[in-house]
Structure 1
Protein backbone atom coordinates (compact mmCIF):
# COMPACT_ATOMS: atom_id res chain seq x y z
CA UNK A 1 0.00 0.00 0.00
CA UNK A 2 2.90 2.36 0.78
CA UNK A 3 4.13 2.19 -2.82
CA UNK A 4 0.69 2.97 -4.23
CA UNK A 5 0.34 5.98 -1.92
CA UNK A 6 3.84 7.26 -2.66
CA UNK A 7 3.49 6.74 -6.42
CA UNK A 8 0.14 8.54 -6.34
CA UNK A 9 1.78 11.41 -4.46
CA UNK A 10 4.60 11.66 -6.99
CA UNK A 11 2.23 11.47 -9.96
CA UNK A 12 -0.17 14.06 -8.51
CA UNK A 13 2.75 16.32 -7.62
CA UNK A 14 4.30 16.17 -11.08
CA UNK A 15 0.96 16.60 -12.86
CA UNK A 16 0.02 19.44 -10.51
CA UNK A 17 3.13 21.36 -11.55
CA UNK A 18 2.50 20.63 -15.23
CA UNK A 19 -1.18 21.61 -15.04
CA UNK A 20 -0.38 24.70 -12.99
CA UNK A 21 2.12 25.91 -15.58
CA UNK A 22 -0.27 25.00 -18.39
CA UNK A 23 -3.04 27.00 -16.73
CA UNK A 24 -0.83 29.98 -15.97
CA UNK A 25 0.61 30.23 -19.46
CA UNK A 26 -1.28 28.39 -22.19
CA UNK A 27 -4.82 28.77 -20.87
CA UNK A 28 -4.50 32.40 -19.79
CA UNK A 29 -5.39 33.57 -23.30
CA UNK A 30 -8.42 31.32 -23.78
CA UNK A 31 -9.92 31.07 -20.28
CA UNK A 32 -12.08 33.64 -18.57
CA UNK A 33 -11.01 34.84 -15.12
CA UNK A 34 -13.58 32.52 -13.51
CA UNK A 35 -12.38 29.50 -15.48
CA UNK A 36 -8.77 30.27 -14.52
CA UNK A 37 -9.74 30.46 -10.84
CA UNK A 38 -11.60 27.14 -11.05
CA UNK A 39 -8.70 25.49 -12.84
CA UNK A 40 -6.33 26.88 -10.20
CA UNK A 41 -8.53 25.41 -7.45
CA UNK A 42 -8.17 21.97 -9.03
CA UNK A 43 -4.39 22.39 -9.17
CA UNK A 44 -4.18 23.59 -5.55
CA UNK A 45 -6.22 20.70 -4.20
CA UNK A 46 -4.20 18.25 -6.26
CA UNK A 47 -0.90 19.61 -4.95
CA UNK A 48 -2.11 19.82 -1.34
CA UNK A 49 -3.20 16.21 -1.42
CA UNK A 50 -0.01 15.10 -3.17
CA UNK A 51 1.87 16.45 -0.14
CA UNK A 52 -0.51 14.74 2.28
CA UNK A 53 -0.18 11.44 0.42
CA UNK A 54 3.59 11.77 0.51
CA UNK A 55 3.53 12.37 4.26
CA UNK A 56 1.18 9.50 5.09
CA UNK A 57 3.01 7.21 2.65
CA UNK A 58 6.14 7.63 4.75
CA UNK A 59 4.46 7.76 8.16
CA UNK A 60 1.61 5.25 8.23
CA UNK A 61 2.20 1.50 8.35
CA UNK A 62 -1.14 0.76 6.59
CA UNK A 63 -1.68 -2.23 8.83
CA UNK A 64 -5.39 -1.63 9.32
CA UNK A 65 -8.34 -0.99 7.07
CA UNK A 66 -8.90 2.51 8.47
CA UNK A 67 -5.51 3.75 7.23
CA UNK A 68 -5.93 1.98 3.90
CA UNK A 69 -9.44 3.39 3.42
CA UNK A 70 -8.24 6.90 4.26
CA UNK A 71 -5.48 6.63 1.67
CA UNK A 72 -7.82 5.31 -1.03
CA UNK A 73 -10.36 8.06 -0.31
CA UNK A 74 -7.63 10.68 -0.68
CA UNK A 75 -6.26 9.12 -3.88
CA UNK A 76 -9.62 8.65 -5.59
CA UNK A 77 -11.10 11.86 -4.17
CA UNK A 78 -8.20 13.93 -5.51
CA UNK A 79 -8.56 12.38 -8.94
CA UNK A 80 -12.32 12.89 -9.11
CA UNK A 81 -12.23 16.41 -7.67
CA UNK A 82 -9.32 17.93 -9.56
CA UNK A 83 -9.65 16.14 -12.88
CA UNK A 84 -13.38 16.80 -13.13
CA UNK A 85 -12.64 20.50 -12.62
CA UNK A 86 -10.02 20.36 -15.39
CA UNK A 87 -12.50 18.67 -17.70
CA UNK A 88 -15.25 21.15 -16.89
CA UNK A 89 -12.97 24.14 -17.46
CA UNK A 90 -11.46 22.86 -20.69
CA UNK A 91 -14.80 21.81 -22.14
CA UNK A 92 -16.44 25.11 -21.11
CA UNK A 93 -13.70 27.08 -22.85
CA UNK A 94 -14.40 25.10 -26.02
CA UNK A 95 -18.12 25.86 -25.74
CA UNK A 96 -19.05 22.21 -25.19
CA UNK A 97 -19.33 21.90 -21.41
CA UNK A 98 -19.28 18.27 -20.30
CA UNK A 99 -22.16 18.54 -17.83
CA UNK A 100 -21.83 14.95 -16.62
CA UNK A 101 -18.62 16.03 -14.87
CA UNK A 102 -20.54 18.49 -12.67
CA UNK A 103 -21.72 15.93 -10.08
CA UNK A 104 -18.30 14.22 -10.03
CA UNK A 105 -16.58 17.23 -8.45
CA UNK A 106 -18.60 17.18 -5.21
CA UNK A 107 -18.29 13.39 -5.08
CA UNK A 108 -14.52 13.82 -5.18
CA UNK A 109 -14.77 16.49 -2.50
CA UNK A 110 -16.84 14.18 -0.33
CA UNK A 111 -14.23 11.43 -0.67
CA UNK A 112 -11.55 13.93 0.36
CA UNK A 113 -13.52 14.87 3.47
CA UNK A 114 -14.08 11.19 4.29
CA UNK A 115 -10.37 10.51 3.79
CA UNK A 116 -9.44 13.30 6.20
CA UNK A 117 -11.99 12.10 8.78
CA UNK A 118 -10.74 8.51 8.51
CA UNK A 119 -7.19 9.76 8.84
CA UNK A 120 -8.15 11.66 12.00
CA UNK A 121 -9.91 8.64 13.46
CA UNK A 122 -6.87 6.47 12.71
CA UNK A 123 -4.77 8.84 14.85
CA UNK A 124 -7.01 8.13 17.82
Structure 2
Protein backbone atom coordinates (compact mmCIF):
# COMPACT_ATOMS: atom_id res chain seq x y z
CA UNK A 1 0.00 0.00 0.00
CA UNK A 2 2.78 2.42 0.85
CA UNK A 3 5.74 3.19 -1.36
CA UNK A 4 7.92 1.31 1.11
CA UNK A 5 7.28 -1.00 4.03
CA UNK A 6 7.69 1.78 6.61
CA UNK A 7 4.83 3.83 5.18
CA UNK A 8 4.79 7.62 5.27
CA UNK A 9 7.83 8.99 7.06
CA UNK A 10 5.56 10.51 9.73
CA UNK A 11 3.69 7.30 10.65
CA UNK A 12 6.08 6.38 13.49
CA UNK A 13 5.67 9.88 14.94
CA UNK A 14 1.89 9.57 14.69
CA UNK A 15 1.97 6.24 16.55
CA UNK A 16 4.12 7.73 19.31
CA UNK A 17 1.83 10.77 19.54
CA UNK A 18 -1.27 8.56 19.90
CA UNK A 19 0.42 6.58 22.67
CA UNK A 20 0.85 9.76 24.75
CA UNK A 21 -2.93 9.87 25.24
CA UNK A 22 -4.92 7.83 27.74
CA UNK A 23 -8.63 7.19 28.29
CA UNK A 24 -9.52 7.51 31.97
CA UNK A 25 -12.90 5.82 31.37
CA UNK A 26 -11.52 2.93 29.29
CA UNK A 27 -13.59 -0.17 30.07
CA UNK A 28 -15.66 1.67 32.69
CA UNK A 29 -19.35 1.03 33.14
CA UNK A 30 -21.17 2.73 30.26
CA UNK A 31 -18.01 2.82 28.13
CA UNK A 32 -19.48 2.18 24.70
CA UNK A 33 -17.76 4.77 22.53
CA UNK A 34 -14.57 4.56 20.50
CA UNK A 35 -12.18 6.82 18.67
CA UNK A 36 -10.84 5.66 15.33
CA UNK A 37 -8.31 6.72 12.72
CA UNK A 38 -8.62 6.25 8.96
CA UNK A 39 -5.64 6.28 6.62
CA UNK A 40 -6.27 8.76 3.78
CA UNK A 41 -4.66 8.96 0.37
CA UNK A 42 -5.22 11.72 -2.19
CA UNK A 43 -2.77 11.45 -5.06
CA UNK A 44 -3.40 15.06 -6.05
CA UNK A 45 -1.68 16.33 -2.89
CA UNK A 46 2.07 16.95 -2.65
CA UNK A 47 2.14 14.51 0.28
CA UNK A 48 -0.77 12.21 -0.56
CA UNK A 49 -1.04 10.53 2.86
CA UNK A 50 -3.12 11.77 5.77
CA UNK A 51 -5.31 10.75 8.69
CA UNK A 52 -8.97 11.19 9.52
CA UNK A 53 -9.92 11.09 13.22
CA UNK A 54 -13.45 10.26 14.36
CA UNK A 55 -15.45 8.97 17.32
CA UNK A 56 -18.44 6.67 17.37
CA UNK A 57 -20.84 4.67 19.50
CA UNK A 58 -20.71 1.96 16.83
CA UNK A 59 -18.02 -0.56 16.03
CA UNK A 60 -15.26 1.39 14.24
CA UNK A 61 -15.28 -1.11 11.34
CA UNK A 62 -18.99 -0.49 10.81
CA UNK A 63 -18.47 3.27 11.07
CA UNK A 64 -15.73 3.11 8.43
CA UNK A 65 -18.08 1.15 6.13
CA UNK A 66 -20.72 3.85 6.70
CA UNK A 67 -18.25 6.56 5.67
CA UNK A 68 -17.41 4.66 2.49
CA UNK A 69 -21.13 4.17 1.73
CA UNK A 70 -21.82 7.88 2.23
CA UNK A 71 -23.94 7.54 5.40
CA UNK A 72 -23.23 10.52 7.68
CA UNK A 73 -19.88 10.52 5.98
CA UNK A 74 -16.90 12.76 6.17
CA UNK A 75 -16.06 13.78 2.61
CA UNK A 76 -12.39 13.01 3.19
CA UNK A 77 -13.08 9.58 4.70
CA UNK A 78 -15.57 8.70 1.95
CA UNK A 79 -13.40 9.81 -0.97
CA UNK A 80 -9.87 9.13 0.28
CA UNK A 81 -10.23 6.63 3.14
CA UNK A 82 -8.28 3.42 2.58
CA UNK A 83 -8.53 1.58 5.87
CA UNK A 84 -8.70 1.88 9.63
CA UNK A 85 -5.51 2.10 11.67
CA UNK A 86 -6.61 0.36 14.90
CA UNK A 87 -3.07 0.24 16.28
CA UNK A 88 -3.33 4.01 16.86
CA UNK A 89 -6.41 3.74 19.10
CA UNK A 90 -6.70 0.23 20.57
CA UNK A 91 -5.12 1.37 23.85
CA UNK A 92 -7.95 3.89 24.28
CA UNK A 93 -11.18 2.02 23.40
CA UNK A 94 -13.88 1.64 24.62
CA UNK A 95 -14.63 4.73 26.70
CA UNK A 96 -17.47 6.96 27.75
CA UNK A 97 -19.04 9.35 25.21
CA UNK A 98 -17.71 12.58 26.72
CA UNK A 99 -14.15 11.24 26.69
CA UNK A 100 -14.44 10.02 23.10
CA UNK A 101 -15.29 13.58 22.06
CA UNK A 102 -12.33 14.95 24.01
CA UNK A 103 -9.89 12.34 22.69
CA UNK A 104 -11.07 12.77 19.10
CA UNK A 105 -9.92 16.39 19.25
CA UNK A 106 -6.77 15.54 21.23
CA UNK A 107 -5.72 12.87 18.73
CA UNK A 108 -6.13 15.25 15.79
CA UNK A 109 -4.07 17.90 17.58
CA UNK A 110 -1.40 15.35 18.50
CA UNK A 111 -1.13 14.19 14.89
CA UNK A 112 -0.72 17.75 13.63
CA UNK A 113 1.94 18.41 16.28
CA UNK A 114 3.71 15.18 15.27
CA UNK A 115 4.06 16.39 11.70
CA UNK A 116 1.23 14.59 9.91
CA UNK A 117 0.76 16.92 6.92
CA UNK A 118 -2.95 16.30 6.41
CA UNK A 119 -5.36 15.68 9.30
CA UNK A 120 -9.16 15.69 8.94
CA UNK A 121 -11.91 15.29 11.55
CA UNK A 122 -11.16 15.69 15.20
CA UNK A 123 -14.10 17.96 15.93
- TM-score normalised to structure 2 length: 0.27
Question: Which of 1 and 2 has higher RCO (CA within 8 Å, sep 6+)?
Answer: 2
Please identify the structure whose Cα radius of gyration is greater. Answer: 1
More strand as a share of residues:
2
Instruction: From the two aligned structures, give the one with the greater helix fraction.
Output: 1
